[in-house]
Amino acid sequence: MGTGPFGISCLEHLCSRKDLVIEAVITKPPRPSARGRILRDTPIKEAAMKKGLKILEPEDIKSKDFIKVLGELKPDMSIVMDFGKILPGVIFDIPEYGSINIHASLLPLYRGASPINWAIINGERETGVTSFFIEEGMDTGHIINQRSCPIYPEDDSGILEDRLKDLAVDVLKETLEKIKKGEVRARPQDNTKATFAPKITSGTGKINWSLEGERICNLIRGLSPRPGAYSFFKKGRFINEVEEGAILVKIWKTGAQGASPGSNQRSRPGYVESADANGIKVFSGKGIVNIQELQPAGKKRMRGQAFLSGYGEKMAKKCLDCI
């Protein structure tokens, strides 16, 4: 059971094994894409179609018809990855050996829909992958297997996700081997240590330039390559809220150092300190954020200096003279 691309590597691993048979791949029905409203299949469905697997796309996983179909398949086990739906007991209790979730965090940390994004946004230095038995509640089941993975300063969510995909395959292999040998010693999660990773919304990506530069850089990394952190640009400065005459700008990449101490004690958050071939230096609440790559609404991604040349070099200079 899956929706997003995170589970594709594990699906391919399952397909390569000779000791099991995939009875069906369960995913969400096609949804309109952001542009053009064209119906698009989920990444997991696209991968399953290439393998010639049976695909089920229930609109309602709690419907009697779907529960009947799943019961008739008589699966020994269900493996869930990035499905985006909380399974009811009537579903996860069907398989003889249980339903297993492969989750991209070190549970009980970052339960929820967006663990990879929030680990980076919150400045974590480590994350990982956990397998657990599904039970009532969101990502609360007993842990079977767990492997850790470092988060490097240059990682964005796309880079980290690719690394975790490979780790997820290892976790799945070890989990299946433990179950096959009857060696599972599942342990309960410590609910007092639980943290949460809610779904990313449009409001999550709005940059507040009054925050510390490091926190702003972590937000940008955590939302790149999708859906992206954003700000508004007007008269040579980046602002927190939309105003008349401001343009929407998505910010995709900052300098590897993130933020460095500001040189001007009279600096104001969002104002451009300087710009060169390495990026646009912008004052934050504490330190400077070096913007290397950004994208005005309706335009292609561009380097920082190219942006100022087209959208406000003179205004930025005028702004600097006022600081």
pLDDT of the residue at 51:
97
> 196-208: b or e for each residue (b if 16 or more CB lie within 10 Å)?
ebeebeeebbebe
Mean pLDDT by 10 residues, the chain (323 residues): 96 96 97 79 97 97 96 97 94 96 98 98 98 96 98 97 98 97 96 98 96 96 97 93 94 75 67 89 93 94 87 48 38
What are the residue boundaries of the structural domains of the chain, listed by start?
A: 5-193, 202-322
In angstroms, the CA 82 to CA 265 distance is 46
Query: Model pTM?
Result: 0.93
The DSSP H or E segment spanning 162 is helix 157-181
User: What does DSSP say about strands 288-296 and 279-283: parallel, antiparallel, or unpaired?
Assistant: antiparallel
CB 46 within 8 A of CB 117: no
pLDDT of the residue at 255:
80
The DSSP H or E segment spanning 229 is strand 229-234
Provide CB contacts within 8 A for 237, sequence distance 6+.
270, 271, 272, 316, 319
In angstroms, the CA 68 to CA 73 distance is 9
pLDDT of the residue at 236:
83
Q: Which letter does DSSP use for residue 3 in this model?
A: -
Nearest to 160 by CA among 253, 81, 214, 222: 222
User: What does DSSP say about strands 247-260 and 237-239: parallel, antiparallel, or unpaired?
Assistant: unpaired
For 202-322, CATH number? 3.10.25.10
pLDDT of the residue at 18:
95
CB 58 within 8 A of CB 66: yes
User: For the domain with range 5-193, which CATH number is right: 3.30.70.990, 3.40.50.170, 3.40.50.300, 3.40.50.1820?
Assistant: 3.40.50.170
In angstroms, the CA 288 to CA 211 distance is 11
**Distances in whole angstroms, Cα of residue 134 to Cα of each of 6, 91, 101:** 18, 10, 6
Q: Rg for the chain (alpha carbons), in Å?
A: 23
